[in-house]
Chains A and B, each alone.
Chain A
C-alpha cells in the first residue's frame, strides 16, 4: 500500500514536469487529486485497513498529497510566467515610430525676443510701461527736444494722421508720459516695448517695426551706469563672450549720446558679410537724458540725471536667429513661424 502511494506520487510529479500547459496541469490535478482521482481512491480504500495501519498509511497518503500539491503550485506559477512571457513577446511594438502628435503652435519670434529682453530688465528692477501708438507731435517730437523744423526730424520719416497727430516714430514719447506722471517722485525705471512706424520699406526697413525703450532716472545716475547696465544687458542677451563698443552719436533727447556696437558673433570680430566686414554690429542707441527733456517732464535737471536707450527688436531678432530679410518677420509664412 505504501509503495503504491509512493509510485502514485512519483508518477504524478513526472507527468506534471512533462505538462506543457495550464490545461494539462489541471487534468493532472483532477486525475490524482480530484473527487475521483487516484489518490482520493486510495484514501477511500483506507476503510478496509486495520486500525493499526490506518494512521501510518493516512500519514503517508497526506505526505504524497502534499508533495503533489506543492509540485502543482510550483509548476503552475512557472507555466504562468512562461505564458506571460510568451504573450509579452508577442506584444512588442516599434519604438521608433513617431509619437502621437500634440498640437504645435508658438509665439512670434519678435515676441519671444521681447519677452527675453523684458525678463532681463525686470530682474534689474525695471517695470514695464506703455503708451499710445498714435501720438501727438508734442510727445513724439517737441517734448523730446525736437522742435518743429529741427533737422533731426529728418532722421525719422514720419507718417501723419492729422496736423498734430502721427504714428509714433519711436517708443520715446512714453519716457515723457511716464516721467510726467511720476515726477517729482524717484526713481523712474521703466522699459517700454511697442510698435513704431516710419516711412521706409526695403529688406532692412519695415514701415512698422518694434522697439524696446528703457529709462532710468534718479538722483545720481551717471554715464558709467548707463555703460554698465547696457553692457550687462547685452551679455545676458547675446552671451557672456559678447564685447561691446560705445561710440558717440546724436539724439536730440539725450546728451551725451552713444551708439552701442556688439562684436559680431558670426565672425568673432574678424569681419564678415553680416557685419559689413567691420567686426561690429550696431545694436542700441542711448544717452544721458537731455536736461531739457527732464525739465519738460517736471524734474530739476541739476539734481536729477538719467539715461535712456532704445533698440530695434527686429534687428535683435534677426541677429539672434540669423534671419537676413526683415520682411520674413511680417509675411507670417507658417513654415517660417514653425521654426521658433
Chain B
C-alpha cells in the first residue's frame, strides 16, 4: 500500500515530517518500508500553453513552438509528436532541473534557439504504468483550463511524499488512507477529521428502479447500491488522477476512478455497472450455477463453479463477486446510468475464488482480509458525492442497503491486571482506557473487567490478548523493561543424536573434509545418473506436488548425488581436489496419510590429491584414504567392530573397489570408488571415492565404554614376516589366520608393505607384516616366540599356500 502524506493530512493534522511519521507508524506495527519524495529534485517546471507550432527550418523531425508560460512566450524546439496548438503542458524553463537530474539550458538546435523543454510524465518522475497509454511516452497534456505559469509540481500534486507500507495480513484495515489516518491520529493524540458525505439528489427515488436480493447470506452480508443518472463519462480531474497515481493506480475514466478512489480512501472495494445493461434493474447475489461462464473485465472467459459467489441479474452472472466485474455490463463512454455496488463478501469465499481463478485484484486483496462491514453504505455515499461534485452525473435519491442478518457488535472482556501479567509492566486502568479510546474502541465498566466494543473495521481483534497487543504497541514495545524469566532453573541438554552428530562433524572437519549443505529435494533423473536399476528402492521417493523445477521435485532417498554434484560443480570451476561430507536426512514414503520415515545419514566424497608441499609429496585421495578417515571416525566414536566386505553388486560403484560396511550384522553403508560411468554422468573424472552411512545404525553401534588395559611390564619381541600370496585374497582373512595362530601372545600385527613386481610371480604379491609378541607376566624366550611364528607360518601355508620369508 502506497500512502500519500497529503491525502493523510485531509483526515488528521500531522505536524511531524513524513519520515518521523513513518518511524512512529513502524514502531506501532504499521511497517513503513520507505518514504518516497515525489518530484524530488524537480525545479522550475511550470505550466505553459502552446500558442503556435511550426516546422523547424532545418530539420524534418523538429518543431518550433511558442509557449506561453504566463509572463512571456518562450521559443521551444521539440521533437514531440503528440502536442497541438492550445495544449497546456509542463515546461522546463531555463535553469530547470528534472527528476533524472538533467539541467535545462538555453540551446541552439539546428541553428534555432530553444529556451526550454516540454516534459513527459516520466521526466517528472511519474511511473508510465500509471499514465494513460497515449500519454505514457509522449508529452504530458494537462486539462485545458489549467492556469499558466504555475509550478507544475504543485499542479500535478508532486509536492508530496509517499509512505510505502509493508502491512501484516491481519491489518487489512490499513489498506486505506482512513485506516492509516486512524493509526496516525491515535499515535499523535489527534482526532480524526471525518465528514459525512453531502450532495444533492434528484427527486426520483431509487426504490422503484433498483432492487437487490441476497440468496446466499453466508457469503454476502451486506449490499449497498446507489444509482447515478445523466452520467458523462470522461477524464477525472487532475487532482484525482494524481491521487490514484500516487497509489500506483492508472486513471481510466471518471467513474472507474471514483470507485478506485473510494477504495483507496475508505478501504471499500466498489464496482460500477452500466445500469441500462442490467436486466430489470434487479441484482441477485448468489452462488454460481453449474456450467455458468462469464467474460470478465480483462476479456477472458471464466468458468464458474458452484462454490463461487456471483453478482447476477435475472439473465445470468454480471460479475464475480469481490474479484472482478463482467465485461458485458462495463461502464463505457456510452453509459448513461450507472449502479454503484458497495458490498461485504465472505473473506474465505473471495480468497478461494480468486485463488482458483488465478485472479488477484486490489478488490479481492481487501475482501479476503475482511473489510469494514459497517462502512458499505457510507462508501457508496462517498462515491456518489464525488461523482456529483465533479459534475459527472446526478444522484438518484436514496440508497438500497440490504443487510440480511443484523451486524453483531463484537465485545471483548479486558482486564488491565491481565495486561500487566502478560506484559510484565504495570498497566493501569487509566492507561488502558486512554489507549483503547484513542483507537476508537468503546469501553464500558472501566474497572477490573472492562467490556470493550471493537470497531467494525478491526476484524483482527477478537480476544483479550488481541487488546493486550493493542495496549502494548501503543504503550511502546521499547518502553517495556528487559527481564529474564525466573522460576525453576533448567539445565540445557542436547539430545544424544545431536551430540553424536556434532562429534562426527568435528572429527571429519579435523580429518580434512569440508562440510557441505545441499538441498533435500533432488531431481528424479539422478537415479539414472547413478546407474541405479529400475527396481531400486531408492527410486521410491516422496514427490513434491508443486516443485519450483524438476531439478528439485523429489525428496532425496540418498545424500550421495548432492555431494557428487558439489564435486562436479567445483571441478568445472577448476577446483580439482576436494574432500567433503554432509550430514542430513533422507526420506522414505510411508503409508498414505503418514509422514515419511526420516533417517539421518552421513555421506562423504573425495577427488584428486592432498595438497602438495615443498617437503611432502601429495597423496591421492582414494579408497584407502577415505577408509582411513572412516576408521579414525569409528575409533573416535567408540564404534564396535565395523566390517568392510567387498561389494561387487552396487551399480553406482566400481565393482572391484567397493565395500559394504556392516556393524553387528546390520548393513551400515557403503564405501567405494564411483563407477566410471557414474563419474562421467556427473561430469567428473574417474577415481572419485564416496561413502554413505546410516547414522541411526552407527549411533547404535557406538559409544562403547572405554576400559583400561594394563600397560606391559615385560619387554616384547618383534618379528617380521613376508609372504607371497595370490592376489585377490582379502587381507582381512590373512590377518584372521595370523591372529588365530598367534594366540594370546601376539599383541599386534602391522602390514607394512605390499609389493608386486620383480621376483614376485605374476598374479601374486608380497605382503610384509610386523608382529609383536608380549606376555603380561614374563619376558618371552626366543623359543616361545618361534613356536608362535612357526604356527603362523604353518597355518598360512596350509590355508593360502603361501611362500614365506621370515626374518
Binding site for B on A (CB under 8 A): 97-98, 100-108, 110-111, 115, 118, 121-130, 132-136, 149, 151-152, 154-155, 159-162, 164-165, 167, 186-187, 189, 195, 197, 199, 201, 207-208, 216, 218-225, 227-229, 231-232, 245-250, 255-258, 276, 288, 290-291, 305, 329-335, 337-338
Tell me whether B498 and A335 are in contact (CB under 8 A). no
Q: List the A residue with the shortest CB-CB distance to B420.
A: A222
Instruction: Check: B610 CB closer than 8 A to any chain A CB.
Output: yes
Apart from A105-B514, A127-B493, A151-B347, list 16 A-B contacts with CB within 8 A: A101-B611, A125-B489, A129-B495, A132-B595, A133-B587, A134-B542, A134-B587, A149-B348, A155-B169, A161-B543, A162-B593, A221-B485, A222-B421, A256-B465, A256-B469, A332-B514
Instruction: Check: B191 CB closer than 8 A to any chain A CB.
Output: no
Greatest chain B CB density within 10 A among A167, A197, A248 is at: A248
Return 7 A-B CB contacts under 8 Å, by A number. A108-B514, A132-B595, A155-B169, A223-B423, A229-B485, A256-B465, A276-B34
Instruction: Check: B510 CB closer than 8 A to any chain A CB.
Output: yes
Tell me whether A225 and B570 are in contact (CB under 8 A). no
Instruction: Check: B249 CB closer than 8 A to any chain A CB.
Output: no
Instruction: Check: B171 CB closer than 8 A to any chain A CB.
Output: yes
CB-CB under 8 A for A288 and B487, given A105-B512, A199-B548, A224-B482: no
Residues of A within 8 A of B548 (CB): 199, 201, 207
Q: List the B residue with the shortest CB-CB distance to A232.
A: B484
Q: Bound state CA distance, A325 and B348, in angstroms?
A: 37
Q: Bound state CA distance, A246 and B521, in angstroms?
A: 36
Closest beta carbon of chain A to B685's beta carbon, Å: 16
C-beta contact mask, B160-184 vs A, less than 8 Å → 1, else 0?
0000000011110000000000000
Residues of A within 8 A of B368 (CB): 151
C-beta contact mask, B485-509 vs A, less than 8 Å → 1, else 0?
1111111111101100010011011
User: Which of B22-30, B97-105, B442-450 interfaces with chain A?
Assistant: B22-30
CB-CB under 8 A for A97 and B614, given A149-B351, A330-B519: yes
Q: Which residues from 346 to 395 on chain B have a C-beta closer than 8 Å to any C-beta of chain A?
A: 347-348, 351-352, 368-369
Tell me whether B511 and A227 are in contact (CB under 8 A). no
Q: Bound state CA distance, A291 and B368, in angstroms?
A: 24
Q: List the B residue with the shortest CB-CB distance to A101.
A: B613
Tell me whether A332 and B424 are in contact (CB under 8 A). no
Tell me whether B614 and A98 are in contact (CB under 8 A). yes
Instruction: Check: B220 CB closer than 8 A to any chain A CB.
Output: no
Closest beta carbon of chain A to B235's beta carbon, Å: 36
Q: Bound state CA distance, A161 and B29, in angstroms?
A: 35
Residues of B within 8 A of A258 (CB): 477
Residues of B within 8 A of A218 (CB): 485, 487-488
6 closest cross-chain pairs (CB), A and B: A103-B512, A222-B424, A248-B29, A224-B424, A250-B168, A122-B492
Closest beta carbon of chain B to A161's beta carbon, Å: 5
Q: List the A residue with the shortest CB-CB distance to B28.
A: A248
State the main secondary structure of chain A at its contact with B. mixed
Tell me whether A223 and B519 are in contact (CB under 8 A). no
Tell me whether A247 and B424 are in contact (CB under 8 A). no
Q: List the B residue with the shortest CB-CB distance to A228.
A: B482
The contact of B29 among A102, A130, A197, A249, by CB within 8 Å, is A249
Tell me whether A333 and B570 are in contact (CB under 8 A). yes
Q: How many residues of B contact A (CB 8 A)?
A: 96
The contact of B424 among A101, A199, A223, A338, by CB within 8 Å, is A223
Closest beta carbon of chain B to A185's beta carbon, Å: 11
Closest beta carbon of chain A to B561's beta carbon, Å: 13
Tell me whether B569 and A333 are in contact (CB under 8 A). yes
User: Which of B37-45, B312-320, B575-583, B711-719 interfaces with chain A?
Assistant: B575-583
Closest beta carbon of chain A to B452's beta carbon, Å: 16
Residues of A within 8 A of B493 (CB): 122, 127-128
Tell me whether B423 and A248 are in contact (CB under 8 A). no
Closest beta carbon of chain A to B629's beta carbon, Å: 9
Q: Bound state CA distance, A334 and B182, in angstroms?
A: 55
Tell me whether B469 and A152 are in contact (CB under 8 A). no
Residues of B within 8 A of A276 (CB): 34
Residues of B within 8 A of A219 (CB): 487
Residues of B within 8 A of A334 (CB): 514, 570, 575, 578, 580
Tell me whether A256 and B598 are in contact (CB under 8 A). no
Closest beta carbon of chain B to A289's beta carbon, Å: 10
Residues of B within 8 A of A149 (CB): 348, 351-352
The contact of A332 among B483, B518, B587, by CB within 8 Å, is B518
Q: Which residues from 555 to 577 on chain B have a C-beta closer than 8 Å to any C-beta of chain A?
A: 555, 566, 569-570, 573, 575
Tell me whether A130 and B516 are in contact (CB under 8 A). no
Closest beta carbon of chain A to B26's beta carbon, Å: 6
Closest beta carbon of chain A to B475's beta carbon, Å: 10
Instruction: Check: B545 CB closer than 8 A to any chain A CB.
Output: yes
Tell me whether A331 and B569 are in contact (CB under 8 A). yes
Instruction: Check: B135 CB closer than 8 A to any chain A CB.
Output: no
Q: Bound state CA distance, A188 and B492, in angstroms?
A: 11
Instruction: Check: B513 CB closer than 8 A to any chain A CB.
Output: yes
C-beta contact mask, B598-620 vs A, less than 8 Å → 1, else 0?
10000000000011011110000
Tell me whether A127 and B492 are in contact (CB under 8 A). yes
Tell me whether A161 and B544 are in contact (CB under 8 A). yes
Tell me whether A151 and B369 are in contact (CB under 8 A). yes
Q: Bound state CA distance, A249 and B570, in angstroms?
A: 42
Residues of B within 8 A of A225 (CB): 424, 483-485
State the main secondary structure of chain B at its contact with A. loop
CB-CB under 8 A for A128 and B482, given A98-B614, A105-B579, A207-B519: no
Instruction: Check: B478 CB closer than 8 A to any chain A CB.
Output: yes
Q: Bound state CA distance, A129 and B492, in angstroms?
A: 11
The contact of A159 among B348, B466, B490, B547, by CB within 8 Å, is B547
Tell me whether A100 and B615 are in contact (CB under 8 A). yes
Instruction: Check: B806 CB closer than 8 A to any chain A CB.
Output: no
Closest beta carbon of chain A to B342's beta carbon, Å: 22
CB-CB under 8 A for A106 and B483, given A154-B169, A207-B552, A333-B575: no
Instruction: Check: B515 CB closer than 8 A to any chain A CB.
Output: yes
CB-CB under 8 A for A107 and B509, given A155-B169, A221-B485, A248-B28: yes
Q: Bound state CA distance, A228 and B88, in angstroms?
A: 62
Tell me whether A187 and B490 are in contact (CB under 8 A). yes
Q: Bound state CA distance, A166 and B347, in angstroms?
A: 25
Tell me whether B598 and A247 are in contact (CB under 8 A). no
Q: Bound state CA distance, A216 and B484, in angstroms?
A: 11
The contact of A250 among B171, B351, B498, B508, by CB within 8 Å, is B171
Tell me whether A222 and B482 are in contact (CB under 8 A). no
Instruction: Check: B31 CB closer than 8 A to any chain A CB.
Output: yes
Tell me whether B514 and A247 are in contact (CB under 8 A). no
Instruction: Check: B585 CB closer than 8 A to any chain A CB.
Output: yes
Q: Bound state CA distance, A122 and B493, in angstroms?
A: 7
The contact of A216 among B29, B482, B485, B573, by CB within 8 Å, is B485
Instruction: Check: B59 CB closer than 8 A to any chain A CB.
Output: no
Q: List the A residue with the shortest CB-CB distance to B509.
A: A105
Tell me whether B29 and A247 are in contact (CB under 8 A). yes
Tell me whether B509 and A106 are in contact (CB under 8 A). yes
Residues of A within 8 A of B509 (CB): 105-107
Tell me whether A111 and B483 are in contact (CB under 8 A). no
Tell me whether B510 and A105 are in contact (CB under 8 A). yes
The contact of A337 among B347, B424, B472, B515, by CB within 8 Å, is B515
CB-CB under 8 A for A224 and B483, given A247-B477, A290-B465: yes
Tell me whether B595 and A165 are in contact (CB under 8 A). yes
Q: Which residues from 195 to 213 on chain B have a C-beta closer than 8 Å to any C-beta of chain A?
A: none
Closest beta carbon of chain A to B460's beta carbon, Å: 8
Q: List the A residue with the shortest CB-CB distance to B562.
A: A332
Q: Bound state CA distance, A291 and B421, in angstroms?
A: 14
Tell me whether A223 and B480 are in contact (CB under 8 A). yes
Tell me whether B566 and A332 are in contact (CB under 8 A). yes
Tell me whether A134 and B485 are in contact (CB under 8 A). no
Residues of A within 8 A of B489 (CB): 125
Q: Bound state CA distance, A115 and B494, in angstroms?
A: 11
Instruction: Check: B481 CB closer than 8 A to any chain A CB.
Output: yes
Closest beta carbon of chain A to B441's beta carbon, Å: 16
CB-CB under 8 A for A222 and B593, given A106-B515, A207-B552, A229-B485: no
